[in-house]
Structure 1
Amino acid sequence: MKKQNNQNDIQKSRDNRTLIKRMAYTIWILFIYHLLSYVSIPGVNIHEMSKLADNSSLTMLSMFSGGGFETFSLMSMGVSAYITAQIIVQLLQSDVVPTLTQWSKQGEVGRKKLNNLTRVFTLFFGFGQGIGITAGINQLTKSGFILNNSALSYILIATLLTAGSFVAMWMGDQITERGLGNGVSVIITAGIIAKIPDTLMKTFKHFSLSSTKNLMCAAGVALLVVLFSWLIVWVNDAEHRTPVQYERKSSLIGEQSFLPLKIIVPGVVPIIFASSLLSLPQIVMMLFRSHYKDTWYQVLGQFLTMNTITGIFLYANLIIAFTYAYSVVQLDPDKMADNFEKQEAYPFVEPGKPTANYFKDLLYILALPGSLFLVFISVIPLVITNFISPNLQLGLSGSSLLIIIGVFTDIGNQIRGLKTKSDYPGFLDKNYEFD
């Protein structure tokens, strides 16, 4: 018994060291990323960026930069191009392109092929996005941004921005493999947190506390943030427990095994994907800023900006669509059915295709309340912000809050998993979770 206790203590000590190493590694990567965000891109007038502080398109783009957009640094595009590439690849492998669908079922070999394809797409999207952002900012500043307005300058700047995207992508992968949480989400969260002080300063500056009305509005916004935070935490902890029966494990009388599935299966991914996808056409529109009086430009602006009802409606629908699509991508029903069959387990449904169909239907059922909640959290702050003042730029606060809490929740779950992994050696147990 004493020997067993000593072994348990040794195992716990190893788990604690692993946890500390992962935590330190994550902080170290974020620190390096923060330092790189101060490496300015040559050939631009950085002071012109201050004139665009209230531009809604650039506000959304800055969310993916991890804190490097305001200074137009090497990391200005952050992981936005990588996210766009992920969206394309993951959607194409969902029975759209047979070859990619086959790769997704080849295990580690197929995963490497898909990752390589994602990197190729990142290269093209990054370079195109780099030119678009540079030219767009130059248009918004009336050609005062680029010091030497030549094709070579655009190519050089776009190349440096694309290189920064690959560095950000690599750092995200390192955090995912050796650190805590999903690397891409952690980088985005770190950038959002870094901008909180500036956001608060702008908010207090807008709300003159000498006025009783403004003081009440400020208090209402603060209360709304607290309520939203509590609601997000509560929904993140909510789960649907699917009863599971398996043959080779002998259960005690009265015990029930189950598979817990989160109500929001894809987490914050639909928010990130929808924001990233909307940022692409906004970059293109920046190139044609001189046509802002034209009818076609105004019509597109109604759909592609967060300051209009139609734009908010499109944003909400993208969140819903990505919630449904990514729920099935993240928890592949066919793979789940195969794993259950290998373990001689089934959720009171016949093994094989019936099990896959059962999980697919279940994911679609969970996607409805999950997507509606994501829309509620993301859209309400946008509506309130536009009602108070479109220039306040707090519209993404709901999405940002959801991303922050979601990432910290995932990190907490990973920490608990690292600390208790030795207690759950089997494929299925009473507290088993799919990541």
Structure 2
Amino acid sequence: MNTKRHPRMTATATAAEFLMASRQCEIRNLEYFLQMGRLVQSVGNLVHGLQRERGATNLYLGSGCQRFARERTAMVKENDQLAATFRQALADIQEDLTTHPVSSPLLGHIASALHSLDQLPGLRQRVNDQEASVSEATEWFCDSIHQLITVVFEAAETVAEPSIAGLLVAMVHVMNGKEYCGQERAAGSAGFSSGHFDNALSRRMMHLVEAQERCFEVFVGFASEESLSLWQALRAHPRELEIERMRQMAVSVGPYKSLDKDMADRWFNLMTERMDDLKKIEDSVESAFHHRCVERYTEARHSLAHQETLLASLEQRHASTAPVLVVCDNGVEAGAADAWAGECVGQQSGRSIFDLVQEQTRRLRQMSEELQSAKEALEDRRTQEKAVLLLMEHRNISNDEAHRLLRKLAMDQGKRLPEVARALVSMAGVLS
């Protein structure tokens, strides 16, 4: 076998530097999400506060400003503090947010959420002056809550660590499910307080129940063990049977049969208890998210320190070893790892660095594969929202009607909802 010497290469040092840079980049991302955890927590608390204020405002306006005045005043004060906490969390992470390479959609939704919150004092004043209707107030609260939840959704889109991304997916869907629960509380309160449910209100109730179930189905797939236990306890609570019984009344009695109006208070209280339990589940997911970020950050720091120590040891041990690259007669390099040998690092060091690079590559590939399911769940949600908007625009129908139509198309075609939504969005793209 003929051999020949190649000039000394500098690839080893470059490989080591980029290997360290990869770990350091991972650590910076984890630091970013440790800070993001505070923002996510502040969003969840503010959303819950706004949901409570929405319920109190509806009852206040619906009673001619005779009921829930004191409770609403207390909620306003509490929510002002929660909004201040949210703004402070944004200020603390603003520099990282504005320099993160994939934060543009997230920043846009944060801007929308802040703009919506800026309108809150004016709405409250109009409520105090009895100039705002129940529907107007409800629409504002729903829109603002949607903007805030979307902030968490977009945050999840920027995660590269699968276990962290999965927990944010769980968080987004339990928050969305709780919001649909709040809207169902409002719809049911309107029907029971009036003594009947017309067809439109009954259909809305069915839509909101189905929307909750879809959200919670995704949540279960990504939730932490503790939050799953809380979810199972919620489902087993005797309250759920009473809620289901009242739901059946709402969708089956019809507009021509009267209901006991006193049931409105019972319905409101039951659904409020349910939302409070959902908030406990949400808090559990947020806690798991924080602990996982800390855990992964600690692991990454230890791994970086270990690699730095190993590389320093290898360089010191083999600094005097002259690297030789052996090439076979057939032109194939003998030992691919020898290609990593370079200046001040011997062949054994080169092989060790090559092993580290291979290990890092395998780990990143595995993370990417695990991350795919979380990304698919987020993309399914985004695509369904696009499909609903398209149906609303082209059919001139409401949001609820668009959701019902999308579900009907899925059932008629025997396909999953995301598949039908993707087909609609793709078709719209071709036709536009």
Q: Is the shorter-chain TM-score for this pair beyond 0.5, marking a shared fold?
A: no
Point out the structure with the larger helix share: 2
